[in-house]
Amino acid sequence: MRAVTWQGKRDISVETVDDPIRHKANDAIIEVTSTAICGSDLHLYEVLGPFMDRGDIIGHEAMGRVVEAGPESGLSVDDRVVVPFPISCGHCWMCEQGLQTQCETTQVRQYGSGAQLFGYSRLYGSVPGGQAEYLRVPYADVGPLRVGTELPDHRYLFLSDILPTAWQAVKYAGIGEGDSLGVYGLGPVGQFAARIGRHLGAKVFALDPVPERRDMAARHGVEVFDFDEDAHAAIRDATSGRGPDAVVDAVGMEAHGSPLASAAQQAAGLLPPPAARKIMETSGIDRTAVLHAAIDLVRRGGTLSLSGVYGGALSPMPLLTLFDKQIQLRMGQCNVLSWTDDLLPLVESPEDPLGVDDLVTHRLPLDSAPEAYAMFQQKLDGCIKVVLDPSAK
């Protein structure tokens, strides 16, 4: 089959690799009909290379058609399914608490990490990912979500990650009707977080330096701002001088405006992989400019919700400010299966209340993945969300 493979920093290629095979009775194999490039895939492309191996198949947002179903998978051939990005057993103590990303059966204990994830480095199990023609799905009796056949793929695809990730971020923020929400970053997760905030009745303020991203969010009733010194003052003026009740950080470890951390990340990337892994495990730092800005913006007694991925072991945190402002802090990988019952009716609704029809800016053949990654990272051609089609030529 054809698959998107990691070959080095900013170097991916589409290669012919072995087709996946079932290992267990509850495995399934799906033919991938749509697979998306996620913002967190860019961390593999740029920062997390020391935890990657040449030839790793990447990607963790996928859906398709079941072509082989294990006898204990609970699936049937030709079922149309969306595959959540965490791999969980469904029966351990953590799964029973709704914390599938902490699954005690698939935890990657070698690195002290949570549950295995599709296509996401040694840190999360080096499980072959979904940017491929076919995907092996472990624990298929738990993860895959059966969906209908009438709506196009993009209505369902984002249930694999970014839509429940945004939903969890806003739920963790604790906002509702009449509250105010700030959103830092208007990539795909930030777009959905802003729209979900509006759907739940909040006034939403979002910040992003890219005009096309601001324009998209504005179409959905979000008040948008560039990253500049006037934005915080304007948002405070609109919130009785206090700042928003909650702020979602949808940017994460590669935020602009953190030159020292950026230099440290680049330096680590130049080391041999074993040394770089050790540095990142014990002394790594993130680019935290957005995190610090979010802490500054949120009102006293408010909530900060992190959906952007952070990975620095020694990232500095302004604890004095957090304590003094009495800020609540929530974060974590998304427990997708905890939110799909809430989200499935919304993506299937003819009214499309979360604007799922208005997110994909580029749908390209799988073989265009190298160009698509570069375009997405560099924010070229108005690129906000790329979906790859393995069947297209």
Q: What average pLDDT does this structure show over 66-83?
A: 98
Q: Which domain holds residue 254?
A: 165-331
Task: Return the higher-pLDDT residue of 313 and 298.
Answer: 298
Considering the domain architecture, whether residues 174 and 189 belong to the same structural domain is answered as yes
The pTM score is 0.91
Considering the domain architecture, whether residues 355 and 367 belong to the same structural domain is answered as yes
Q: How far apart are CA 64 and CA 34, in angstroms?
A: 7
Q: How far apart are CA 228 and CA 209, in angstroms?
A: 8
pLDDT at 321: 93
Dihedral class, residue 379 (left if φ above 0, else alpha if ψ from -120 to 50, else beta): left
Q: How far apart are CA 267 and CA 187, in angstroms?
A: 27
What's the chain's length in residues?
Answer: 393
pLDDT at 260: 39
pLDDT at 49: 84
Out of 312, 331, 350, a domain closes at 331
Considering the domain architecture, whether residues 94 and 147 belong to the same structural domain is answered as yes
Out of 315, 331, 347, a domain closes at 331
Considering the domain architecture, whether residues 299 and 178 belong to the same structural domain is answered as yes
Q: How far apart are CA 40 and CA 124, in angstroms?
A: 13
Q: How confident is the model at residue 303 (pLDDT cuts 50, 70, 90)?
A: very high
Strands 2-8 and 61-69: unpaired
Considering the domain architecture, whether residues 304 and 343 belong to the same structural domain is answered as no
Per-residue pLDDT at 262 exceeds 50: no
Q: How confident is the model at residue 22 (pLDDT cuts 50, 70, 90)?
A: very high
Given a contact cutoff of 8 angstroms between Cβ atoms, the answer to whether 19 and 55 are in contact is no
Considering the domain architecture, whether residues 220 and 298 belong to the same structural domain is answered as yes
DSSP string spanning 259-294?
HHHHHHHHHHHTS-HHHHHHHHHHH---B-HHHHHH
CATH number for the domain that contains residue 233: 3.40.50.720
Considering the domain architecture, whether residues 325 and 342 belong to the same structural domain is answered as no
Q: What is the pLDDT of residues 223-258, one digit of tens each?
A: 999 988 799 999 999 999 999 999 999 997 664 444
Q: How far apart are CA 245 and CA 182, in angstroms?
A: 8
Candidates 205, 244, 240, 245; CA nearest to 225 is: 205
Considering the domain architecture, whether residues 276 and 378 belong to the same structural domain is answered as no
The helix/strand count (H/E) of the chain reads as 13, 16
Q: What is the pLDDT of residues 185-229, one digit of tens each?
A: 999 999 999 999 999 999 999 999 999 999 999 999 999 999 887
Q: What average pLDDT does this structure show over 122-137?
A: 97
Given a contact cutoff of 8 angstroms between Cβ atoms, the answer to whether 159 and 145 are in contact is yes
DSSP 126: -
Residue 271 sits at φ, ψ, to 5 deg, of -80, 160
Out of 308, 331, 354, a domain closes at 331
Considering the domain architecture, whether residues 207 and 322 belong to the same structural domain is answered as yes
pLDDT at 216: 98
Q: How many C-beta neighbours within 10 Å does residue 210 have?
A: 17
Considering the domain architecture, whether residues 207 and 315 belong to the same structural domain is answered as yes
Q: How many domains does the chain have?
A: 2
Considering the domain architecture, whether residues 74 and 140 belong to the same structural domain is answered as yes
Strands 303-306 and 246-249: parallel
CATH number for the domain that contains residue 114: 3.90.180.10
Q: How confident is the model at residue 320 (pLDDT cuts 50, 70, 90)?
A: very high
pLDDT at 274: 55
Considering the domain architecture, whether residues 208 and 292 belong to the same structural domain is answered as yes
Task: Return the sign of the alpha-carbon dihedral for residues 172, 39, 354, 147.
Answer: negative
Mean pLDDT for all residues in the chain: 91
